[in-house]
């Protein structure tokens, strides 16, 4: 029996997310507050990270939305 393919769970730190998205820290947290960006996961008391596949999915959604022609 085959199991569904699970995404690799790679955790990105904030600076990596900033580099991938082109967004700054305050923009990322503002989008999170508006429910428009993946929420971080807590790694320790003072450390958070984002799942790579969620960030990649967010980028793909934004790319698709920007390519959609409005009629």
Contact between 2 and 41 (Cβ < 8 Å): no
Q: What is the total count of domains within the chain?
A: 1
**pTM for the model:** 0.83
Residue 42 domain-assigned?
yes
Strand 41-44 vs strand 11-12: parallel, antiparallel, or unpaired? unpaired
- The per-residue DSSP string of 22-49 comes to ---HHHHHHHHHTT-SPPPEEEETTEEE
Distance CA 15, CA 27 (A): 13
pLDDT in the model for residue 1: 63
Q: Encode pLDDT of 52-67 as tens digits.
A: 999 999 999 999 998 8
In a domain, 49, yes or no: yes
**What's the CA gap between 52 and 31, in Å, rounded?**
17
Report whether pLDDT(51) > 80: yes
Q: What is the CATH number of the domain that holds 34?
A: 1.10.238
Q: Of all residues in the chain, what percent carry a pLDDT higher than 70?
A: 93
Asked if residue 28 is part of any domain, the answer here is yes
Residue 3 lies in a domain: no
Residue 4 lies in a domain: no
Residue 52: give the domain boundaries.
11-64
């Amino acid at each position: 029996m085959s199991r569904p393919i699970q995404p690799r769970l790679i955790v990105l730190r904030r600076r990596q997310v900033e580099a991938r998205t082109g967004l700054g820290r305050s923009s990322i947290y503002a989008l999170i507050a508006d429910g428009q960006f993946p929420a971080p996961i807590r790694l320790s008391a003072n450390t958070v990270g984002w799942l790579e596949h969620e960030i990649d999915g967010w980028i793909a959604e934004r790319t698709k939305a920007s390519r959609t022609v409005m009629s």
